[in-house]
Amino acid sequence: MGWTSRLFLTLVLGCLSSILLVATEADSGKMRVIAGTGEAGFEDGSPGAFNKPIRLAPYGAGAVLVADIFNHAIRVVNVDGTVTTIAGGPDRKGFADGSAEVALFASPHGVAISREGLIAVAEAENHTIRLLTPVLGADNQGPEGYVISTLAGVPGSGGMMDGPAAEALFQSPHAVAWTPDGDLLVADIGNARIRRVSSATVGTAAGSGDEGRRDGASAEASFHYPMDIALAADGTLWIADAGSHSVRSLDPESKVSTLNLTSGIDTPHGIAVGPDGVLYLAEMARHRILAVNPDGEVTTVCGTGKAGSGPGELNRPAAVLVHGGVVWVADLDNHRIVICQMPANDTGS
């Protein structure tokens, strides 16, 4: 069976098994390792192996996309624990566009999928934004593969420049998020800015380029390592500002604010929006996943606060995603993907 057939089978199995596993998680009340052995490696199948999984995005009803940094790969994890590689691999580091069989990546970080099935990748080491366009089969039941192109940035050239997408410069982009109208927002951590790719043009959505935690008008605001972003249904962009240890927002009126929290947080590396306006944070330095309600009240969802791979423990969680009624976690230094139960007062989407 070829990799394209395996990918289609993975998606089908995910749709069939997602409800069963979500119910099992809710009943157990425990954190569960879905994929990964706890050791760095590269392997498809179940449980699969990763080398620093760092970002997550929904991929159909029962699966997630994973950016696997040091395997230089984009992977899919099914809710039943099956891992499939859709592009890249540990022997495929570099830069090359083309079909998934020949394309090369270097340290992919952010991933996001559009309504049309386009996958955007924030490629930190190449300082580019890559695009995976699905190749549909004759039955239109799912992608048979992907063709990779460069959406924005100059491969291997870091810097700061707005303008035509093919000439614009990024500095270690780490996260991406699609807007409903098809624009792409980018967390450009090396430039301390949020960038926007729209109609083959790159602009700055927020950030003066200064490092700091200054609120106000988008052009005057400052960030310190804006590490991850998540777009809410009301158009608010939520930002995990890791260097300032804070949660920031960019509202539809282009104003940047800092969310007042009931307790301090340390190095928020991942952020996701859940139901009823609840935010979820991957608090990397304290090895926890946190929930933050609209009033700024902070509670722990999973993780003991101690780095480890034992029951209930995480080791530098890098990303969080609410999908299919559970909380998915990219457990970076444990090289695994974990599922946690949703808080009792929240329901997953």
CB-CB contact of 62 with 18 (8 Å): yes
- Residue 92's contacts (CB-CB under 8 Å, 6 or more residues apart) are 72, 73, 103, 104, 105
* pLDDT for res 26: 33
Per-residue pLDDT tens over the stretch 209-237: 999 999 999 999 999 999 999 999 999 99
Q: How much is the average pLDDT of 151-162?
A: 98
Per-residue pLDDT tens over the stretch 304-333: 999 999 999 999 999 999 999 999 999 999
* pLDDT for res 333: 98
Angle at 63 between CA 62 and CA 66, to 5 degrees: 165
Nearest one of 221, 270, 220 to 249, comparing CA atoms = 221
- Mean pLDDT in the chain? 91
Lowest mean pLDDT among 90-104, 118-132, 134-148, 152-166: 134-148
